Amino acid sequence: MTDGSRFVPGAGHPGPPGPDHPALLVAGRKLLLGPDGRLNRIADLPGDHDWVPIGTLDDVPVWAAGRSKAGAGRWVSWRRLAAELPEPLAALAGRALQVVTWRHSHRWCGACRAELADVPGESARRCPDCGLYVPMRLSPAVLVAITRPGAAGRPDELLLVRHSYGPTELWALVAGFVEAGETLEAAVHREVGEEVGLTVDGLTYFGSQPWAMSGPGVLLTGFTATAADPAAEPVVDGRELVQARWFPLDALPAELPPAYSISRWLIDATATGARR
Ligand SMILES: [Zn+2]
């Protein structure tokens, strides 16, 4: 779902915030929406806020700040916001959450303890004393939709898993964070082996999505693949994953990831592709 507007992430704008510029306040993991459920403007949020630029929405600067006093409106999680507002507003709000959270947790120099300063025009801070440069970093993660051919005359099947944490009723895709020194492709093969004990062939890139749920700065990358051995059954460790099973693509469970997630886009595209 998209509303046709264009968000370009960025870290620099000349001049102060204008009264009509979109603005997001962040408190912990919550974001403030206006009483009408839409984004606030600077003029809607009087008070002393330390506004930082996060990019432009249709060439208009957008601002974010940590909460310094309660504002009128609704405090919502990013999950709720992404379910209610179309893209690119969910991505914009995810970036606001990330920038504010990151600045809050990167206040002091890790080498000499001096207070870091923003680097104008960059998503980065620098130590005025020792020069340490601290860029905002992303955490890449991989997701994979694994299929296998069904029995003779039956539809293909998709592997779905249930986690022991988070929304445990959901049937999700095999997923995990990329390790330092690892390619995205190697991360898929490793996670599939670790989580369900399978090997896969035909790994194909699907797309990506900035994701503000599992901590700020997560970049999800989606892949499709096929089971190397169609007869192999998944084995879970019982700790991170509690269940894994094959579902026929025309009989997927109802408890699937939300419509705004790349997990769901992958599952829907796999099911649609099988029907063609
Ligand atoms: Zn320093």
- Span 49-77, pLDDT tens digits: 989 999 999 999 999 999 865 656 789 99
196, 174 contact by CB (below 8 A): yes
pLDDT value at residue 179: 96
Residue pLDDT, tens place only, 157-196: 999 999 998 778 899 999 999 999 999 999 999 999 999 9
Centroid of ligand 1 to alpha carbon of 137 (angstroms): 18
Residue with token string 């996670």: 191
In three-state secondary structure terms, 262 is: helix
Distance CA 100, CA 212 (A): 12
Distance of CA 4 to the CA centre of its chain: 20
- Coil, strand or helix: which one is 265? helix
Given a contact cutoff of 8 angstroms between Cβ atoms, the answer to whether 131 and 119 are in contact is: no
- Please give the Cα distance from 262 to 4 (Å, whole number): 19
Strand locations in the chain (E): 7-9, 22-27, 30-33, 40-41, 52-57, 60-66, 74-77, 117-118, 124-126, 133-135, 139-148, 157-163, 174-177, 200-211, 218-227, 241-248
Please name every residue paired with 176 in a beta bridge, in sequence order, or none if there are none.
142
What length is written for the chain? 276
Question: 113: CA distance to ligand 1 center in Å?
Answer: 6
pTM to 2 decimals?
0.86
19: how many CB neighbours lie within 10 A of its CB? 9
Going from the Cα of 184 to the center of ligand 1, the distance in angstroms, rounded, reads 33
Confidence of residue 243 (pLDDT cuts 50, 70, 90): very high
Average pLDDT over residues 250-269: 95
Distance from residue 114's CA to the centre of ligand 1 (Å): 5
Specify the 3-state DSSP secondary structure of 131. coil
Determine the distance separating the centroid of ligand 1 and the alpha carbon of 117, expressed in angstroms.
Answer: 10
Task: State how far the Cα of 153 lies from the Cα of 199, in Å rounded to an integer.
Answer: 24
- Asked if residue 248 has a cis previous peptide bond (ω within 30° of 0), the answer is no
**Residue 144: phi, psi to the nearest 5?**
-140, 130
Mean pLDDT for 124-133 is: 97
Contacts 24+ apart (CB under 8 A), 171-175: 171/247, 171/252, 171/253, 171/255, 171/256, 172/257, 172/263, 173/143, 173/144, 173/145, 173/257, 173/263, 173/266, 173/267, 174/143, 174/144, 174/146, 175/141, 175/142, 175/143, 175/144, 175/220, 175/263
pLDDT at 14 over 90: no
Give, rounded to a whole angstrom, the gap between the first and last alpha carbons of the chain.
Answer: 23
Per-state percent for the chain, helix, strand, coil, to nearest 5: 20, 35, 45
Separation of 134 CA from ligand 1 center, angstroms? 10
What pLDDT is attached to residue 1?
Answer: 60
Distance 103 CA to ligand 1 centre (A): 16
